[in-house]
Structure 1
Amino acid sequence: MRVVVDKPISRHRLTDSLLPALRRTLPRIRHRADFFVLLSDSVYVSPAGRAEFVQFLRRAPLLRCDRRDGDDISAHSILIPDFAILGPRYAGELAAIAKASAAIPFERRLGLIKWRGTLSGPGYPNFGNRRDFARYALLMASRKHPEVLDARLITYDNLTDSESALALRRHLRELFGDPAEEVPAEGFVRYKYLISLDGAVAAWKRVPTILASRSVLLLQAQWSQFFYAGLKPWVHYAPVRHDLSDLLKVHERLAEHPEEAEAIADNGQRFAGEILHPAALDTFFVHVVNRCGELCG
């Protein structure tokens, strides 16, 4: 194994998720395989070298956690489970979610849309480009409609130190005060509706944990993960437009049709139990690596 790591978060994903997954699954690997694994969120290629890199990906398997339609680099990637759900903590989180879910029937949950996260998206956020971020639109909708939506940031420290980013930080503090406390995955079970929004890439673990919670997943996504092909709108989740322009209407439909909402929540939890439990994820990862070996051979 040759490792090229450029950021602390990549080192964390390597040591806490990918390497443990490889150690667990190595006895089930049948073929020798050479491939790349993207530990960072994305691949940054200069415009001049993009076409050459895409041709390279046609010959060298690149394993990553998400892809996006229209993105030529991610379109040539092979999807694997994200590093958070490959890691050893995921099983404990699922157990905590299952316990909380069993204790709070769907009809007793609060009828709010709940979200906690960071302000990420297309590039680095600053005061000038803040409206380009769907998560900023979610924050503003929460401020305008607190009876429907509770959305807060858990940190402002991910913003850069540029003058415009500092202006955004002051702006956020003026509107929302200090960042909200982080909520553990099982803490979201108190709410009927949980929304997932893409950031710089897919929201990764947020979608599996929402599905497991037996709350309704409201999904806004341009990036897709390996299991998205099995999800059906209004069966496993409620779809939301990228600009969130229909968010209130989606909430209204769910609130006015509680039986439909509960059925979606049940279907989502069943899907998570069958497809997204740790043993199934390991089996999928083994299949991908073995298939790479077959193709390389």
Structure 2
Amino acid sequence: MTTLHPRSSNQDHVTIIVGFLITFAFCLITLSATRRTSTSPYPPRSNYTLDPIFPSYTRPEYDIFNSSLPNTAPQPTSYNSLRTNDHEDPAYRPRSPKSLPIICAGPPRYSNRILGSAEAPTTSSSEIESAFEALVARYLAPWIPLSTPFKGQPLLQRPITRKLLNSMEVLIRGGAFRVRLAGDGKVRYRVLEHWGQTYRISRMTWTLSLLQEAMNVFPDLAKVKCEFYVNVADSPRSTVDSMSRDMGGIPVFSFRTSTSYLDVPVPDPVEYGSNGNYVWKTGKKIPFEHRIPKLVFRGSSSSLLEYHDHNWLPVPRIRLAALAKQHPDLIDAGITKWMKLGKATSVNEIESSLGTGLSDVLNYESQGKYQFIIDIDGGLGSSRKRGILSSGSVPFFQKSNWFMWYEPLLKPFYHFIPVDTYLQDLLERIQAAKSDPVESKRIISRANCFGDNVVSKEAAMLYWRVLLKRYSQLQHDPATGDEEVTPSMCAMRPATAEGPMGCSNGWYVFTGTVPFGCRYTGAKRHPYHFECWRDIGRGTEFKFTSDPVHSHYNEREPGQ
């Protein structure tokens, strides 16, 4: 038989005290966690990762085309519950390096135009150059050997050969130009076809001018010997796999790229004002508190090649316009021009579905008066990010399949606020930014630092220097001087005779302008009604060695 001994009063007191202490500790932990999550809607910096991985949500309650939904935005929520989703998509930008430094995170200064006495990050040229070297290593990874040395295997060590470059010229003729740096400080180039899109000429001229200026700034770049192609079209060209019949695996420099392409991104002339657009100038002078507390966007409907039979519903810019109609207290966004409408789609149909027509054009100076600016893809990305980063507003960047040369250096919730591709989390992120103006100002400060330093024109020249010095190490047999291109392009494609080079195997030398181009004709300036001209053999810097049509075209005046 078991004997039960009565519990002493001392034991009861100890049990009560221990229980009280455990309960009190639990309450303190809970209170501390609540304060950490409720103080700011932004995730703690210790949880940031470098890659700009954006969330993807499926939330039917954010159906912006459902007019029965209440016209109220969701309440601000803590980003701590979202931060895992922001960085877990392994398919997004796998070429983005994991070891890149965080730019514009240096010691604080106290002279920032926006923050006044608050934190103002800084960076240095050495930090930027180091980051560019890491970027270039990733972009050129498909051609960089995995180990060294390669004894008896020169192609594996330097896989970019002159034979490869010559074979590419006809393939890429419609939207790219060829550049040769021969170590003598001159920029030589070739263009096989006239481009009806005149903006391509301005892109080429700006790029050639920047290369020439970069060689003047960096003497070691003037000694580099290499050849490469610059794609002036919007779309990248070199595919990773069998998506292309004959454009796979070739080295091409383009203004934007994606994970499905091998194109090496280089600075986009449009971002630097080659077409007189996309430049913010005075926005930083307006204090954050004095800006309009809304998110702003204006742009054309340039997302699809053709709109027809309700295929426009998924277009993010149209979705944003519809969302702005429902939430005018948070968003001022609209379409300024309908583009590429098919015969089966009328403007009235789209506007009646949206409940709104075209919006007034809002120039970039006026957009800089808002607290938040969003970048939404048009046709194959957009060229606004550089301007938005320097605008003095909080950047909102939509997740995109396309990215430009500097974008892997951008850090979400640090330089910008990420937004889902189809804007399903946009409302709550606007509310989150509005509810924490202190952190919003910090994001603005870092974005300004990035825009003023990492994507400045001087930084763009530095990036070209880093890229070409590394690229030249991968070229097997670089040509020198005015050495001709072989074989004859006219033999491969007779229509080349009517292009800017004629049948010449020589090179133009860039002297500030290009001696060819196209001009629109007619009052309507229809893109298919233009005349093209070339002025061959008139410049002392142009070298001809074999051109059967040279004498014929030498008699022509430009524009004839």
Name the TM-score, length of structure 1 as normaliser: 0.84
Partner of 1:187: 366
Report the Cα distance in structure 1 between the residues aligned to 2:242 and 2:441, rounded to whole angstroms.
Answer: 50
Structure 1 vs Structure 2 CA RMSD? 2.7
Query: Shift of residue 125 of structure 1?
Result: 3.2
- Greater fraction helix: 1
State the partner residue of 1:20: 209
Q: CA deviation at 1:92?
A: 11
Looking at structure 2, the residues matched to 149 and 272 of structure 1 have their Cα atoms a distance apart, in angstroms, of: 24
Structure 1 residues 41 and 91: CA distance shift in structure 2, 3 A = closer
Comparing 188-197 with 119-128, greater Cα deviation is found at 119-128
Of residues 196, 215, 218 in structure 1, which corresponds to 2:393? 215
Q: Does 1:126 align with 2:316?
A: no
CA deviations 1:56-105 (Å, max 9, x no partner) are x1xxx201122223x2xx2x1111111223456889945x23xx312x11
In the alignment, structure 1 residue 50 sits paired with structure 2 residue 244: yes
2:305–2:340 CA contact under 8 A, matched in 1:
no
User: Percent same amino acid at aligned positions?
Assistant: 22
C-alpha separation between the residues in 2 aligned to 1:127 and 1:91?
32
Does the 8 Å CA contact 2:296/2:372 hold for their aligned counterparts? yes
Contact 1:21 1:86 in 2 (8 A): no
Give the C-alpha shift of residue 14 in structure 1.
Answer: 2.2
Q: 1:269 to 1:127 in 2, by over 3 A?
A: farther
1:65 is aligned to 2:248: no
Report Cα offsets for 1:114-135 as digits up to 9, x if no partner: 0011112254333521012111
Residue 243 of structure 1: aligned partner: 422
- The verdict on how the C-alpha distance between 1:20 and 1:92 changes in structure 2, with shifts beyond 3 A counting, is farther
Aligned to 2:190: 2
Aligned residues of 2:202 and 2:275 also touching (Cα < 8 A): no
Q: Which has the larger radius of gyration?
A: 2
Deviates more, 1:18-27 or 1:257-266: 18-27
Q: Higher RCO, 1 or 2 (CA under 8 Å, sep at least 6)?
A: 1
Among 228, 232, 237, the alignment partner of 1:35 is 228
Q: 1:268 aligns with which of 424, 430, 447?
A: 447
What is the CA distance between 1:178 and its match in structure 2? 4.2
Structure 1 partner of 2:321: 139
Tell me which amino acid in the other structure corresponds to 2:229: F
Q: Distance in 1 between matches of 2:277 and 2:470?
A: 26
1:136, 1:91 → 2: CA distance?
22
Letter in 1 for 2:462: T
Structure 1 48/230 Cα, relative in aligned 2: closer, same or farther at 3 Å? closer
User: In the aligned structure 1, how far is the partner of 2:420 from the partner of 2:278?
Assistant: 32
Q: 1:90 to 1:269 in 2, by over 3 A?
A: farther
- Output aligned runs, 1:106-117, within 5 Å: 106-117=288-299
Amino acid at match of 2:472: G
Structure 2 Cα separation of the partners of residues 233 and 134 of structure 1: 20
Tell whether the 8 Å contact from 1:208 to 1:272 is kept in structure 2 after alignment.
yes
CA contact (8 A) 1:202 1:221 kept: no
Shift of 1:277: 1.4
Contact 1:31 1:294 in 2 (8 A): no
Which ranges of structure 2 fall in alignment gaps of 5 or more residues? Answer: 1-188, 477-560
SS at match of 1:273: helix
Preserved CA contact (<8 Å) 2:300 2:337? yes
Change (3 A) 1:85 1:290: farther
Q: Could you list the per-position Cα deviations for residues 130-160 of structure 1 after superposition, in whole angstroms to 9, with x for gaps in the alignment?
A: 012111111111111111111122222x324
- Residue 343 (structure 2) pairs with residue 177 (structure 1): no
